[in-house]
Structure 1
Amino acid sequence: MNTNPQNHPKQAIGKVVTSGQGQTSIEKDPSSDGHIQSCTQHQTGDIGDKAVTRTTLLTETRVVEEWVSSCFMNSLCPTIDDRAWTCSHKTLTLLDRKGQEKHEVDHKTWINDISLSHTTHRPWACDSDNNILELVSGQLIQRFRTKEVPECICVTSSDHVLVGMSRHISKYTLQGQVVLTTEATRTEKPLVYTPRKITECPVTNNVAVIDDRSEDHGGDGNRRVIAMDTNFQELFVYRGEIPSSYKQTLRTVDNPFYPRSIVYDSQGNIIIADRNTPMLLLLSGRSEVLRILHTYTESVWLVGIDRHDIVWSEFGNKYPHKVKLLQYSDNT
């Protein structure tokens, strides 16, 4: 990572223009080999404290692996050893890159979501009985309980647990003490209505959340992605806007934005699985659309990313679903 873009040597693969506000644009050099370089400027906690990261995007996203899933997936979390944990109904399943099952853990009730600890690399889970659990020695052990049903979970790099529930997100210690919450008073509008997925940026520690905004929870039904800093202050809202250059994928009233899964890559960019279009979108850390990474002929449901920035994506209109592993950058 080069923290001084002024001194970075000019690359043959492309020219990058970054505005003072941290917005990113990408220009292709006619003499290049087709690779594209993107530069994203992220503002971290303190005002004026910024980090510049550079990503070389491949001309086309490459399919590394593709296979039919042996299990239903509700979450997909790649591990540091090139495998992935998934949750399916009442079961955690560990899969390798070829889709072969390596381990299963049964649970007594429905598992809503999972997340991996940055410290221990073990899965944490939330279930329909309001339990927050950690996988220890082959068993899911209760760490604490929430007052409401936890719909999604994210274990942060600071060893906190973010839990999405109806009309709010709360930050807990590993022991279950509430540190921070977005919960609003009865007269206030909540920051989120129906959080579906939460992901943390490894560069800035900002958080991005898919909010379904269900009418059952007081929302308007218009799904969106909201980014927040570590204090749950709103940074931006992304409602599925696509530049006019992507005319072939512009949405219609009958085909609205439906973010189904979300993850940050190692450079602080955001990858969104849009179920309805269906495609994977790559956004900068400030919500600018950098690229459509991949399009599908069937609904895309889940996205995860491994330590090499290889994307794992689940898609399909009927079971069993399929999984594609995709390489879109030279970060490997």
Structure 2
Amino acid sequence: MDPRTSAQDVMRCDLCETTVVQMHCDTCLVNLCKACVGEHMIPDQFKKHEIVPFQLRKSTPLYPVCKSHSKERCEMYCKQCDIPVCASCLTSDKHLGHKLLKVLQVLDEKKDKILKEQTELKETIYPTYQDIASDVQNRMIQLEKEYGDLSTAITKHGEDWHREIDKLVKKLKAEVDKMKNTQLQTLQKHLDEINKTMSDIKDEIDSMDVAVNSNIISKLFSLSSEIDRHRNLPEKMVPSLPKFAPGKIQAEFSKLFGTVSSSSLTSDKHGYSMKTQKSPEAGSFPPVKQLLDEPETVTTIDTGYRNLYNVACLSDEEIWTRGNVNTIKLYSINQGSLLKSITTKSGNKPINIAVTRSGDLVYTDYNDRTVNIVKNEKIEEVIRLQNWIPWSICSTSSGDLLVIMDSDDYTQTKAVCYSGSTEKQTIQFDDKGNPLYSFGYYYKYITENRNLDICVSDSRADAVVVVNQAGKLRFRYTGQTPAPKNQTFYPRGITTDSQSHILTADRDNECVHIIDQDGQFLRYINCGLSRPWGLCIDTNDNLFVAQCNKRQVKKIKYLQ
């Protein structure tokens, strides 16, 4: 927490550490009380200390230290040598006849250049990369569909043949799967490189913000921009699908049954073009699946908990569940059988569970203030919080972890993005400085949408709060009237699907709300739900609902 904005304590003098801060040395960046000003200046009386009232700190430009004369600062800039120079430098013969400018003038020019590049990165280059990432993801979805159609065609043709050619059918399908996997792996690697570049661009934007807002001039001179590299957009990967050519049933089965042509993945350097203006929300695709008129229950799984709170998909065949005890259970979806149980490291009951992109189980320990990961049945502590308590967790598309948490005194709530154990981003306030989330001992769940929005179900606020990737508020959804049981919207678990729909469990109305990525209500899912709590979606967009009191997980099909 920034001590300058903290309301928990006042700023103290850096020397005596007892008296309230009144003054500030802009030269040494030290906070002082009036009594300690003289003591601060005594050790180096020849150093020019800029002492200002604390409220005016950072008002004095901090000129860079001269590389040739370490005790002097540079207030001029030599145009020919392209370096800052001090008074001693100017008295030497080294810069005779050179054009000299004031450092502050050069600083203004440098700031203008940085701000222009930052604007281009923010409004043109980064949105373009967002669209490129979306395009690659869309191609992967379409590739999956078309390869599926190809496999279906091969299977249908194989049904017309005798059992003796089953082996040949399997061989051809294996070739198709191999080509599909090769292309998907290539596209995934391409997408990972794009996401890495997008992350680098965001880091560069943040570095520019720090440099521009700093009074330390050397930071501006040391800042080097990678904008020229980012202007070179990645190649566009365009997969070429093989075709299945069925043959007539005659004597030579292997030749006449049919063949699959070879596939290819071409690279087009000019496939993408830079955006000319700031784009709208990236990552939205044309609808691929439509909502069913009547959602249907596929199966129900009994978990044995007294109360069931969370469910997380490990795969399309297995789900993790979390109840009112210190064990997390893995169930087979098709058989409904218990496959594995994990006991928490601390012995406390977990407060939330999720599955990472690599398939590892993660859980939050509310009492222990930790986030833990289970690898090969061994539990490792990933994050340990100080003065904060973790609620819900999710794994992002980039492999990071999003955690929603409360302060120890329940007066603040924030969402934090972690890369491993390193904090990357904190989301807590809107543009006006107002809290985005309610606080207090109330359940909150978090997830990431396909368009990279961050969605939080806030039960105390009776709302779903959605911010974009930068943490800027997009909308609040507060329910739909009339509600199925005419109760106030009381959100619990939250998840998203391939269509960027946001699905939220409404405990008191015993239903699931479906809204689109812009917060527009689409439909309720009822299906005889009883006290729905946790939600998750598998890769085929099947919905899994943890029913608290019934101790059951329902698998529901709601998309065509």
TM-score > 0.5, shorter chain as reference = yes
Structure 1: distance between partners of 2:392 and 2:402: 8
1:213-258, Cα deviation, whole Å (9 max, x unpaired): 3xxxxxxxx321011111111111000124xxxx57273xxx2110
Amino acid of the structure 2 residue aligned with 1:211: D
Work out the CA distance in 1 between the residues paired with 2:429 and 2:475.
19
Q: For the residues of structure 2 that align with 1:249 and 1:76, how far apart are their CA atoms?
A: 24
Partner deviation per Cα, 1:119-175 (whole Å, 9 max, x = no partner): x1111111020111111110221112112110111121112211111111111111x
Is structure 2 residue 331 aligned with structure 1 residue 92? no
One-letter amino acid matched to 2:294: E
SS at match of 2:389: coil
Matched, 1:321 2:551: yes
Unaligned runs of 5+ in 1: 3-45, 214-221
Q: Give the distance between the partners of 1:212 and 1:297, measured in 2 at CA.
A: 19
1:228 corresponds in structure 2 to 467
Task: Name the structure where strand makes up a greater proportion of residues.
Answer: 1
Match of 2:317 among 82, 87, 92: 82
1:16 paired residue number:
none
1:110 to 328, 337, 349: 349
Q: Distance in 2 between matches of 1:297 and 1:112?
A: 22
Seen in structure 2, the aligned counterparts of structure 1 residues 227 and 49 have a Cα distance that, compared at 3 Å, is closer
Displacement of 1:264: 0.2
Give the match's secondary structure for 1:53: coil
Q: How does 1:166-177 map to 2 (within 5 A)?
A: 166=406, 167-174=413-420, 176-177=421-422
Are residue 153 (structure 1) and residue 393 (structure 2) matched?
Answer: yes
Residues 175-234 of structure 1 show CA distances to partners (whole Å, capped at 9, x for unaligned) of: x2211112459x953211246100111x21111101123xxxxxxxx3210111111111
- Bigger Rg, structure 1 or 2: 2
Residue 112 of structure 1 and its aligned partner are, at CA, apart by 1.1
Deviation at 1:80, TM superposition (A): 2.3
Structure 2 CA distance for aligned equivalents of residues 226 and 297 of structure 1 = 24
Q: 1:144 to 1:48 in 2, by over 3 A?
A: closer
Structure possessing the higher relative contact order (Cα contacts under 8 Å, 6 or more residues apart): 1
* CA RMSD in angstroms, aligned pairs only: 2.3
Q: CA deviation at 1:314?
A: 2.0
Partner of 2:308, secondary structure, is coil
Q: Residues of 2 paired with 1:295 and 1:145: CA distance?
A: 40
Query: Are 1:53 and 2:286 an aligned pair?
Result: yes
Establish whether residue 205 from structure 1 lines up as the match of residue 481 from structure 2: no
1:191 aligns with 2:436: yes
> Offset at 1:306?
0.8
Question: Separation in 2 of the partners of 1:115 and 1:298?
Answer: 22
The structure whose residues are more often helix, as a share, is 2
Q: Work out the CA distance in 1 between the residues paired with 2:286 and 2:374.
A: 34
Q: Distance in 2 between matches of 1:297 and 1:180?
A: 36
In 2, the alpha carbon distance for the partners of 1:298 and 1:188 equals: 39
> 1:131 aligned to 2:361?
no
Mapped to 1, the partners of 2:523 and 2:462 lie a distance apart of 20
Aligned length: 266
Residues 183, 282 of structure 1: CA spacing in aligned structure 2 closer, same or farther, 3 A cutoff? closer
Paired letter, 2:444: R
**Separation in structure 2 between the aligned mates of residue 110 and residue 309 of structure 1, nearest angstrom:** 29
For 1:290 and 1:49, the matched residues in 2 are separated by 20
Rounded to whole Å, the distance in 2 between the matches of 1:183 and 1:59 is 38
Structure 1 CA distance for aligned equivalents of residues 553 and 446 of structure 2: 21
Q: Given the alignment of the two structures, is residue 285 of structure 1 paired with residue 514 of structure 2, yes or no? A: no
Amino acid corresponding to residue 212 of structure 1 in structure 2: S
User: CA contact under 8 A between 1:70 and 1:99: conserved in structure 2?
Assistant: no
- Aligned equivalents of 2:483, 2:385: Cα separation in 1: 44
Amino acid at match of 2:364: C
- Which sits farther off after the overlay, 68-77 or 301-310? 68-77
Partner of 2:360: 122
User: Does the residue aligned with 2:509 lie in a helix, a strand or coil?
Assistant: coil
Partner secondary structure for residue 52 of structure 1: coil
- The residue type paired with residue 102 of structure 1 is L
Identity of aligned residues (%): 22
CA contact (8 A) 1:105 1:139 kept: no
Check the 8 A contact 1:205/1:229 in 2, yes or no: yes
SS of alignment partner, residue 74 of structure 1: strand
- Output the CA distance in 1 between the equivalents of 2:505 and 2:285: 25
Provide the C-alpha distance between the structure 2 equivalents of 1:236 and 1:250, rounded to a whole number of angstroms: 25
TM-score by length of 1: 0.74
Asked whether the 8 Å contact 1:111–1:126 carries over to 2, the reply is: yes
Structure 1 runs (4+) deviating above 4 angstroms are none
Q: CA deviation at 1:315?
A: 2.0
Alpha-carbon distance in structure 2 between the residues aligned to 1:112 and 1:177: 22
Q: How much does 1:57 deviate? A: 1.9
